[in-house]
Every structure is written in C-alpha cells, then in structure tokens.
Amino acid sequence: MKLYGYWRSSASYRVRIALALKNIDYDYVAVNLLKGEHKAADYLAIHPNGLVPTLVTDDGVAIVQSLAILEYLEDVVPKPSILPASAAERAQARAIAATIACEAQPFMNLRMQTFLREEKSFDDAAMSDWLNRFTGAAMAAAEALARKTAGQYCVGDTPSIADCCLAPQWFGAGRFGVDVSKFTKLAEIYERCTKHPAFEKAHPMNQPDTVE
C-alpha cells in the first residue's frame, strides 16, 4: 500500500495510527501542502478534492477520505480491530470519529484558515474566536460522548477509530490554540494514546517529511 500524506496533517495522522495499530507496512509519499503539491495535476488525478491523505492499494485503487480509509483497513486487515465488538459500541466509536473528523477538524484546515486570513481579513484574535467557537463546540461534544463510553480509550479499553481521530485532533488543537482545558476525559485518553507505540510511530514529529 502507498499512503500519500503530510506530516502535520491530522487526517493523514489518523490513517498512520490505524496502519501502525494493524502493523501494516506501507510506502509513504509526502505531499507538501505548504508548496501546494496537493493541487498538482498528478495528485488531483488520485484525489479530485486535492486533500491528503490518499491510500493507494496494492491493486492500484485510490481511496480518499480518512474515515473511509480507516474502514477499508479494518475490512482488509480485521485484526487487531479498530472497532469495538458490539454493534452499539461500533456505532459509538464511529460517532466520536465523525464528530472529530467532520465537525471539529474542518475549521482548522489550511484552506479555511488561508481564506479567512487572506480574503476575510481575520487577524489572530478573530481566528482564535472562530476556532474556539466551532472546533471547541465539536470537541465539547466529543468529550460528552467519550464520558459515556470511555474505558482506557474513547470506547472501552482498546484503541478504536475514535482514538485514531482524537490524538490528531488534540495535536492540532494545541497547534492552533484551541482551549482544551475543559476536556478532561479527552485529555486523559490522549495522554494514554501518547504512550502507545502505534500512536508514537504515527506522530507528526516522527515522519520522513517532518520539519523540526
């Protein structure tokens, strides 16, 4: 398999965690977002929306959208599973993953921030308001959901797709100054994730394209 990603991209980081949890070997192709490589014609041919990540299977199928990639990895390498055992808990793990991936992370995106700063005159204070209002609200929802389902991790005692999304979100929120001080359950789970070897391997600071 081949993963097109960027070291600091939280959506790429989600997929790297799942690959590491499942011990799947893959080739990593760095797509430099700051140089606009995600908008190059050859990359748009595999990801029409010009975002990372993209996973290209051994059969040459390009799969986009990190949540779809996580589900694909679960289908082709079921063990160790990144979904809990019961149907209700699987839905709860997917719900936390979606709350983060669909409702918290998009507000932090490079294209969103570039548009607001360059075309809507957002300064640091306005950007901070924006991020804290919208990303903060979705993270508060994730916190409330995790409080109902968490054991050692977001749902039960095993890392799931919810944790694959939580760790990158926590990292990104820290980068962009989102106030996470009230999210004590997520903080506790994130701390546990940082000690897990798969999360460590997938961490942005440990990638071939990491810039110190």
Ligand X SMILES: N[C@@H](CCC(=O)N[C@@H](CS)C(=O)NCC(=O)O)C(=O)O
Instruction: Give the footprint of ligand X on this chain (CB under 6 A).
Output: 9-11, 33, 38, 51-52, 65-67, 101, 109-111
Pairing of strands 27-30, 54-56: unpaired
| 119: three-class secondary structure by DSSP | helix
Kindly state the smallest distance separating residue 115's Cβ from ligand X, in Å: 9
Q: Closest-CB residue for ligand X?
A: 111
Beta-carbon contacts of 168 under 8 Å, excluding residues fewer than 6 positions away, are 10, 11, 13, 14, 17, 105
Kindly state the smallest distance separating residue 212's Cβ from ligand X, in Å: 20
* Nearer of residues 98 and 141 to ligand X, judged by Cβ: 98
* Nearer of residues 6 and 153 to ligand X, judged by Cβ: 6
| 150: three-class secondary structure by DSSP | strand
* Nearer of residues 151 and 177 to ligand X, judged by Cβ: 177
Q: Phi and psi dihedrals of 52, rounded to 5?
A: -105, 150
Kindly state the smallest distance separating residue 30's Cβ from ligand X, in Å: 13
* Nearer of residues 16 and 196 to ligand X, judged by Cβ: 16
| 114: three-class secondary structure by DSSP | helix
* Residue carrying structure tokens 């600091």: 8
* Nearer of residues 5 and 159 to ligand X, judged by Cβ: 5
Q: Can you tell me the distance from the alpha carbon of 9 to that of 14, in angstroms, rounded to the nearest whole number?
A: 9
Kindly state the smallest distance separating residue 152's Cβ from ligand X, in Å: 25
Q: Phi and psi dihedrals of 204, rounded to 5?
A: -50, -35
* Nearer of residues 66 and 92 to ligand X, judged by Cβ: 66
Please say whether the beta carbons of 51 and 38 come within 8 A.
yes
Kindly state the smallest distance separating residue 66's Cβ from ligand X, in Å: 3
Q: Can you tell me the distance from the alpha carbon of 163 to that of 190, in angstroms, rounded to the nearest whole number?
A: 8
Q: At what angle do helices 66-76 and 87-98 cross, to 10 degrees?
A: 150
